[in-house]
Amino acid sequence: VQIELVTIGDELILGFTVDTNAAHIARTLAAEGFTIARRTTVGDDRDAIAQVIREALVRCDGVITTGGLGPTSDDVSAAAAAELFRRPLVLDEATFDRIRERWAQRGFGPVPDNLANQAMVPAGATLLVNSHGAAPGIWMEDPRGRWLAMLPGVPREMRGMLADVLVPRLRELQASRGGASVVVASRTVRTTGVAESRIAERVAGVNLSTNASLAFLPSWEGVDLRVTMRNVSPEAAERGLAESVQALRALVRDVAYGEDDDDLAAIVLDLLRARGWKAAVAESCTGGMLGMRLTATPGSSEVFVGGTIAYDNRVKVAALGVSEATLASDGAVSDAVALQMARGARERLGANVAFGITGVAGPDGGTPAKPVGTVSLAVDIAGESDSRTVRLIGDRDEIRRRATQAALMMAWRRLS
Ligand code: ATP
């Protein structure tokens, strides 16, 4: 099934809102084996919306739109569909009742007049249930079986409706029209701590399954290796991906901490939990980012006890017991200070494992010997500690994120 995607909204055209809906729909449908032939964005203009959809329907089997189904005067998607299919806009009583009920339940007071807008739909349209918000989606078909599906713009509502309503509907449609089931599927091996070109060197000779392609995706978290298989049966995709991922992992075992959406902080927490250990942090340049990463994972309280943000040297000394002499001799950004920070946090906070992070995040504060991006990291596990000083690249934000990830990686290597 060939599909075109139209995202609607002035905010998108102006770049104030990033079009994450299009990316999400494209990914989701590709995984289901539907081809997105083209993506278009159009402003909140009824005629322009109708024209874009009309043109798209000439080329493909169906069009999905997002946005413009809300209650305000700039929400004109339903009117555009009505114009396109030459139907009047009519009030759907059941929808209006539901919208009024939602409003009352929330205790918002008298119902504003414009709420009725969200219940105005093209006569004869099929309404797609929205269990995540007020406005229903709209489904219309022309006499030749070409269809239009309109979803709301709010990403949470759109994602919910895509999964609950639209994907099942498209699967049914595909089956009823006798389409073969082929998918695009991918799996990702997550690595960190090794540069993209090095990783590429290491996996250069990898034996991937037929039809599999490999992409390198670098970010502050590391380099993700994504294997994708296109236009194959779901079974062949699963088999091919499993083989390819196994072959890749064999070449990068020491730096491959997980797959797909795995988060390094969550993995480290699991390793600690399995040993019944507690963890603490002592952070300078990352200002609590490591604590944030660890506590972002549900259930972290079983493992994470807390930490110290020791930004000023006085805090490193008073709260963590870092020696003034070491600060003077080695400087605040040094293996020795990172080690003392980790030890201080472990001992004073009653943890088995502690991290120490101290560095120059920039943009100022660098010296020839310790330029911006120099970060000293230490991990103390039950009194056995190790440290390293690394040069990280990027702006302030990236350096802080990379430092956090590098500290987690040090722990992962020792625990796994
Ligand atoms: P509402 O009922 O909230 O008015 P709607 O269907 O009218 O929903 P819009 O008004 O077009 O949707 O957009 C609502 C919000 O959803 C926007 O403020 C924007 O933050 C977000 N949004 C809209 N389209 C997109 C998109 N393509 N990608 C990401 N976010 C989007």
C-alpha distances in Å from residue 25, one per residue of 36, 159, 162, 273: 9, 8, 8, 37
269, 355 Cβ separation under 8 angstroms? no
Nearest CA to ligand 1 atom 25: 153
| Ligand 1 lined by 99 (C-beta under 6 Å) | no
Joined together, the tokens standing for residue 314 give 């006085």
For residue 212, is pLDDT > 70? yes
For ligand 1, what atom is nearest to the CA of residue 7?
Answer: 27
Give the side-chain half-sphere CA count within 13 A for 212: 24
Q: Using most ligand atoms within 8 A of CB, pick from 6, 17, 18, 95 the residue to mutate for ligand 1.
A: 17
Above pLDDT 70, what percent of the chain?
A: 100
Nearest CA to ligand 1 atom 4: 70
For ligand 1, what atom is nearest to the CA of residue 151?
Answer: 6
165 CA distance to ligand 1 centroid (A)?
Answer: 19
pLDDT tens-digit map of 341-367: 999 999 999 999 999 999 999 999 999
The pLDDT confidence band at residue 31, using thresholds 50, 70 and 90, is confident
For ligand 1, what atom is nearest to the CA of residue 75?
Answer: 7
Q: Using most ligand atoms within 8 A of CB, pick from 120, 128, 154 the residue to mutate for ligand 1.
A: 154
6 CA distance to ligand 1 centroid (A)?
Answer: 13
> Distance (Å, rounded) from C-alpha 1 to C-alpha 178?
11
173 CA distance to ligand 1 centroid (A)?
Answer: 27
21 CA distance to ligand 1 centroid (A)?
Answer: 9
Report the interhelical angle of 234-251 vs 196-203 (nearest 10°): 110
Q: Using most ligand atoms within 8 A of CB, pick from 11, 28, 64, 73 the residue to mutate for ligand 1.
A: 11
Q: Please give the average per-residue pLDDT across 303-313, as a whole number.
A: 98
140, 122 Cβ separation under 8 angstroms? yes
| Ligand 1 lined by 75 (C-beta under 6 Å) | yes
| pLDDT score recorded for residue 180 | 67
> Distance (Å, rounded) from C-alpha 388 to C-alpha 390?
6
pLDDT tens-digit map of 111-155: 888 888 889 999 999 999 999 888 899 999 998 899 999 999 999
17 CA distance to ligand 1 centroid (A)?
Answer: 9
40 CA distance to ligand 1 centroid (A)?
Answer: 15
| pLDDT score recorded for residue 120 | 93
237 compared with 134, residue with greater pLDDT: 237
The pLDDT confidence band at residue 41, using thresholds 50, 70 and 90, is very high
| Ligand 1 lined by 68 (C-beta under 6 Å) | yes
